[in-house]
């Protein structure tokens, strides 16, 4: 861990302004950033502490939705009665992630911005275009069982590890931000995370210094909500594949998938095929996939997991 400057911001706009400095990073729960700093993967020169900005409330919106402050802790968000009732997918996805201790610290915005768990990204002896742009990707051709099968490039095959983000994507969340000039905007969840292309180190559409203040959920869409995270052990592991499903009584619904791509993977044209069943949805969802020998099984696993959650949803409904 390198030495760094530490400041506390006193408003979101001030935080955004302060973060224009070269090498600046926001720190909230620190559950990911501090680990990466200890490993010399993240080397921020400035940390801007945003924990004291009061962004820790969950409020109803005039549109009938919820506005979740960027600093709301994962534990609190998962336990919120309104979330559990109307956005069960979000609560279930959150509780499938990390551990109780981590969820107590991890924040809503921080969860969205967490970095990949690719083991080659984590090993500073290895070439990694995310960590060291232009150095190459040592994961390609290596051990890739956990890595992405779709949305990848010749420069990077890492996955986005978040469970919460899968639910946010299925729920059509909007990301509210403030920019250094004080202006605000709202980014659809679909547009927040970027595919790697030739620039895998650029992971989101946020501008330098742009600061997430809240995540807004539209009015509840009803339906049966299921999040099934498939992994090698029962708890405290990243997904091989996770499926978030919202199924309506008429057989339509939404599907977002984790563990397979550099961003939460949702294809609206695929979920339109839900009445036709899991096979049709999966084929469309995974069109263009380029799996390796190690992770080819994820294609089958997506289809089978989706079939399973569809069956569960029909039973529940």
Rounded-to-integer distance, Cα 300 and Cα 235, Å: 22
Which of 178/260 has CB closer to other proteins? 260
Reading the block at residue 227, the tokens are: 């999040």
Contact 150, 140 (CB under 8 A): no
Interaction with other proteins in 237-256: which residues (CB under 8 A)?
Answer: 237-238, 240
For the CA atoms of the chain, what is the radius of gyration?
19
Strands 58-60 and 46-49: unpaired
Binds other proteins by CB under 8 A, chosen from 84, 236, 249, 316: 236
Nearer CB in complex with other proteins: 119/220: 119
Residue 137 as a binder of other proteins (CB under 8 A): the answer is no
Phi, psi of 148 (to 5 degrees): -80, 155
- x/- letters, 152..191, toward other proteins (CB under 8 A): ----------------------------------------
Which position among 2, 84, 85, 276 is part of the footprint of other proteins (CB under 8 A)?
2
Q: Which residues pair with 228 in a beta bridge?
A: 243
The whole-angstrom distance between residue 167's C-alpha and the CA centroid of its chain comes to 9
Q: Look up residue 283 and give its two tokens.
A: 């084929």
CB atoms < 10 A from the CB of 235, how many? Answer: 9
Q: Does 3 bind other proteins (CB under 8 A)?
A: yes
The DSSP symbol for 296 reads T
Q: Is 122 in the site for other proteins (CB under 8 A)?
A: yes
Write out the binding residues for other proteins, residues 278-297 only, by CB under 8 A: 278, 297
Does 81 bind other proteins (CB under 8 A)? Our answer is: no
Residue 301 touches other proteins, criterion: CB under 8 A: yes
Residues forming beta bridges with residue 175, ordered by sequence position: 187, 215
The interface region with other proteins, picked from 15-23, 103-111, 256-264, 298-306 by CB under 8 A, is: 298-306
Give Cβ neighbours of residue 35 (< 8 Å, ≥ 6 apart). none
**Which residues contact other proteins by CB under 8 A?**
1-3, 38-40, 117, 119-120, 122-126, 138, 141-143, 145, 228, 230-238, 240, 278, 297, 300-301, 303-305, 307-308, 311-312
């Amino acid at each position: 861990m390198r030495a760094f400057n530490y400041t506390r911001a006193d408003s979101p706009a001030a935080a955004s302004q302060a973060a224009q400095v070269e090498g600046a990073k926001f720190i909230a729960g620190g559950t990911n950033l501090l680990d990466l700093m200890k490993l010399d993967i993240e080397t921020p020169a400035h940390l801007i502490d945003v924990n004291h900005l009061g962004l820790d409330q969950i409020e109803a919106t005039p549109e009938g939705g919820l506005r979740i402050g960027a600093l709301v802790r994962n534990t609190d968000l998962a336990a919120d009665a309104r979330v559990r009732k109307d956005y069960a997918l979000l609560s279930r996805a959150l509780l499938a992630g990390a551990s109780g201790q981590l969820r107590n610290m991890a924040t809503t915005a921080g969860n969205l911005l967490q970095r990949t768990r690719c083991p080659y990204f984590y090993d500073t002896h290895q070439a990694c275009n995310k960590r060291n742009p232009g150095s190459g990707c040592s994961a390609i051709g290596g051990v890739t069982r956990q890595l992405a099968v779709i949305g990848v490039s010749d420069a990077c095959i890492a996955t986005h590890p978040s469970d919460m983000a899968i639910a946010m994507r299925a729920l059509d969340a909007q990301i509210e931000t403030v920019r250094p000039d004080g202006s605000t905007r709202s980014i659809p969840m679909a547009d927040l995370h970027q595919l790697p292309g030739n620039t895998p180190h650029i992971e989101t559409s946020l501008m330098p210094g742009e600061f997430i203040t809240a995540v807004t959920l539209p009015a509840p869409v009803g339906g049966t909500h299921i999040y099934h995270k498939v992994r090698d052990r029962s708890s405290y592991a990243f997904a091989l594949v996770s499926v978030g499903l919202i199924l309506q009584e008429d057989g339509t619904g939404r599907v977002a998938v984790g563990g397979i791509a550099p961003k939460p993977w949702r294809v609206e044209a695929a979920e339109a095929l839900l009445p036709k069943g899991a096979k049709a949805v999966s084929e469309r969802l995974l069109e263009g996939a380029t799996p390796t020998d190690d992770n080819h099984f994820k294609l089958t696993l997506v289809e089978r997991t989706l079939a399973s959650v569809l069956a569960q949803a029909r039973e529940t409904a």
